[in-house]
Amino acid sequence: MKIAIFGKQYTARQGSVMQQLFNTLSKNNCEICIEEDFMQLLSQDNNLSLPAMSIIRDNRFCADMALSIGGDGTFLHTATRVERKNIPILGINTGHLGFLADLSGQETSTTLQEILDGHYKVEERTLLQVEAQGIEELWPYSLNEVAILKQDSASMISISTTIDGDYFNTYQADGLIIATPTGSTAYALSAGGPILVPQAANWVLAPVAPHSFTVRPLVVNDDVTISLQVSCRTGKFMLSCDGRSVQLPAGEKITLRKAPFTIKVVKGYNHTFSQTLRNKLMWGIDKRD
* Structural element, H or E, at residue 141: strand 141-142
First to last CA, the chain: 46
Q: Is 174 a catalytic residue?
A: no
Compute the distance between CA of residue 220 and CA of residue 75 in angstroms, rounded to an integer: 26
Cβ(61)–Cβ(4) under 8 Å?
yes
Cβ(220)–Cβ(196) under 8 Å?
no
Beta bridge partners of 255: 131, 227
Q: Which of 64, 72, 174, 289 is catalytic?
A: 72
Compute the distance between CA of residue 194 and CA of residue 218 in angstroms, rounded to an integer: 9
Compute the distance between CA of residue 126 and CA of residue 283 in angstroms, rounded to an integer: 24
Compute the distance between CA of residue 281 and CA of residue 276 in angstroms, rounded to an integer: 8
Residues 6+ apart with CB under 8 A from 236: 151, 152, 247, 248, 249, 250
Compute the distance between CA of residue 230 and CA of residue 153 in angstroms, rounded to an integer: 14
Angstrom distances, CA of residue 261 to CA of 125, 141, 265, 284: 9, 10, 13, 34
* Structural element, H or E, at residue 189: helix 187-190
Catalytic residues: 72
